């Protein structure tokens, strides 16, 4: 699987990982050279060969150099950034989608 990710990333195709999938990227050295996030910096630091601690960002989602990483609580934000990267719709429609799923379809004043 790591070789597949290497090939895909080498072709300029975006890689998206959330929660435990970020740990996979960490274990295989993919996060040593891109800004990234995940469930915790400490979790990454416990992985052999991880040298990307200076690039770790404590955020819901980080997008850098074709990698989209997210922590376990960022499902909506993660999908939003994937949609933006893939340009699945207009920016306006993606923003509407995000607002609806982040803030709810029913709102009270």
Active site residues: 19
Cα 47 from Cα 41, distance rounded (Å):
10
Q: CA nearest 77: which of 66, 67, 86, 68?
A: 68
Phi, psi (rounded to 5 degrees) for 36: -160, 170
Report yes or no: 50 and 25 within 8 Å, Cβ to Cβ: no
* Whole-Å CA distances, 63 to 8, 74, 106: 16, 13, 30
C-alpha angle with apex 47: 42 to 53, nearest 5 degrees? 55
């Amino acid at each position: 699987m790591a070789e597949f990710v290497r090939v895909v990333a080498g072709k300029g195709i975006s890689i998206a990982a959330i929660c435990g999938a970020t740990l996979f990227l960490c274990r295989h050295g993919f996060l040593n050279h891109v800004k990234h996030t995940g469930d915790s910096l400490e979790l990454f630091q416990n992985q052999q060969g991880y040298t990307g601690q200076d690039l770790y960002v404590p955020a819901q989602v980080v997008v850098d150099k074709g990698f989209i990483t997210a922590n376990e609580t960022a499902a909506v934000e993660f999908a939003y950034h994937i949609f933006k990267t893939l340009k699945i719709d207009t920016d306006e429609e993606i923003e509407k989608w995000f607002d609806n799923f982040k803030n709810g379809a029913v709102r009270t004043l």
